[in-house]
Amino acid sequence: MAAEKKGGMSVREAGRKGGQKVRDTRGPEFYKDIGKKGGETIRDTRGHEFYEEIGHKGGQKVRELIEAGRSSVEPGEASEEDELRAEGAPEEETDADERR
């Protein structure tokens, strides 16, 4: 999408600067308050069933992504993670593990 230029500033840049100004002027409480108001309005207009529906859709999407990840490894082919486990390598080292 092409940024529209007027007076040497793109629309994107003007929006970014405006958002920063609101953040600096009103602070994080402003965003908390408008988020809460928006959530209450959605709850009052759409009801509990709406949240059940979008929660179900989100869960289905996660299931699809997990299945896509599993199917990207061809049957009989071990993933890099599987190969590391077979070699006895630790799953993942953390800074705490390295300090021991």
- Per residue in 46-92, pLDDT (tens digit) is 998 998 999 999 999 999 999 998 888 666 666 666 666 777 655 55
Please say if the pLDDT value at position 17 is more than 80.
Answer: yes
> Could you give the CA distance from residue 46 to residue 23 in angstroms, rounded to a whole number?
30
Considering the entire predicted model, what is its pTM?
A: 0.45
Other CB atoms within a 10 A radius of the CB of residue 13 amount to 12
> Could you give the CA distance from residue 81 to residue 91 in angstroms, rounded to a whole number?
8
On the CB side of 88, how many CA atoms lie within 13 Å of its CA?
0
> Could you give the CA distance from residue 48 to residue 57 in angstroms, rounded to a whole number?
15
